[in-house]
Chain A
Amino acid sequence: QVQLVQSGAEVKKPGASVKVSCKAVGYTFTTYYIHWVRQAPGQGLEWMGKISPSSGSTTYAQKFQGRITMTRDSSTSTVYMQLSSLRSEDTAVYYCARGYSYGYSEVFDYWGQGSLVTVSS
């Protein structure tokens, strides 16, 4: 069945970078966009950006421009999200989600289990 399997928890120091992976299982990797959504402790969902696994093209939320990079490895059906210049406010659970497109929108029909990133000195 369809699954998105994410990498484990990370602890990083301020100023460092983190790279989170998301492995797609159970469907054709290149068919659907992969999105990244984060959730700070006690806060709501925040969309970070998306990547096309077929072309590698990306769209990033304005807030993260210059600090975020999404890449993919088609040989392993894995998408990566790297966030640099980390600060304490980046402490959050990071989710990848598959975007199912129908008409003029996308719905996130499958989600990864989440990866906790803690930024602390």
Chain B
Amino acid sequence: SYVLTQPPSLSVAPGKAARITCGGYNIETRSVHWYQQRPGQAPVVVIYYDSDRPSGIPERFSGSSSGNTATLTISRVEAGDEADYYCQVWDSSSDHMVFGGGTKLTVL
């Protein structure tokens, strides 16, 4: 089965950029979606189809994918960005959805 690997945690100072990676075999050939989950809340999509941003999501959020790594970038990080972030793809061979293990972003 397809596996997505994320770093468990990342700490960034306010105003700096946060880059959260999601590793998977040949992930650039798949569509990657990113979710933000604040404590006690349901996840919210922040990037879909690698780099598209839903309405209402700040332009500071962007996504990219190349080779075996997809990346969610949050520029000029704010305290309100502190949350868990998950990547997700569809595994066509099994018709299953797959999530990465999640990355806890801490704003220093």
Contact = CB atoms under 8 A, between A and B. Distances in A.
Interface size range on A against B: 20 to 34
B42 A113 contact: yes
Interface string A85-121: 0000000000101000011111111011110000000
A107 B49 contact: yes
A49 to B, nearest CB: 8
A62 B89 CA distance: 17
B108 to A, nearest CB: 22
Contact of B31 (A105, A109, A113): A105
B45 A105 contact: no
Contacts of A44: 84, 86, 99-102
A82 interface: no
Contacts, number: 64
Nearest to B98: A47
Nearest to A49: B96
A109 B43 contact: no
Contacts of B89: 105
A111 B98 contact: no
- Which 4 A-B residue pairs are closest in the complex by CB-CB distance? A105-B31, A111-B42, A47-B97, A107-B48
Interface of B: 1, 30-31, 33, 35, 37, 42-45, 48-49, 54, 84, 86, 88-90, 92, 94-102
Given A59-B96, A106-B90, A107-B33, 5 more contacts: A45-B37, A47-B97, A107-B49, A111-B42, A111-B44
